[in-house]
Structure 1
């Protein structure tokens, strides 16, 4: 799987740990930065990574900032991005099963590295549910997205 990664200064260390794991599992990682712990603006990195997800240049995205919500707020402004903030593996499982999320957002100031790794593993290996009620719910969200969000060129 080809995965976009983005982070701010608070997420650099955790991103590097997750990136190393992903690569060891055979995934291709496209790292949009940042690459150090100097204070920076999250949107400078999450926006291009989100656009890569929306354009289909990557399969999914994993974004890491202080609490995860900043990344999700940015990503969810982009047509075709469905970002979920997950703070435990159970939430990661539901974010994939029930919403078919294509971007995982993690808060490096909220959770530790071991739980973050379990969240990533769960999110990457869980498929969306295919029962009609779940497919219908996901399709409703996609219809809202298509109606109110500008298509990415």
Structure 2
């Protein structure tokens, strides 16, 4: 029961993270491009601020649940007298997930800081440049997230 609950929390946290990136990248940003720069940059800043707070929580849930599930399976294998070798798809998932978390850290604590500084100074060109950098990094993270999902299903 605990394993199933952890797996559910893990998947829901991934849905929040990946789904939010899809929404922002393919729906919100293109719609916001029709707005004047001051309105667009403020809207994206405020939206991303809320989304990034949710992603920080999601990352915590993903880390704790993922490590707990791996540890639980490893412990059960060892207790049964078997060795534990982490499956390849879990290894790929964990490695790419850590890379995604590091990229998110750069987005949240470096690129978003630039955006916040630009918004506070009403420097719309700098805000647009910061948004472009965020968009590129989010695109990379989204691609990695899709690869993780594909590997998880294809190698299951």
With normalisation by structure 2, the TM-score equals 0.26
Question: What is the TM-score with the length of structure 1 in the denominator?
Answer: 0.26
Pick the structure with more helix per residue: 2
Greater gyration radius: 2
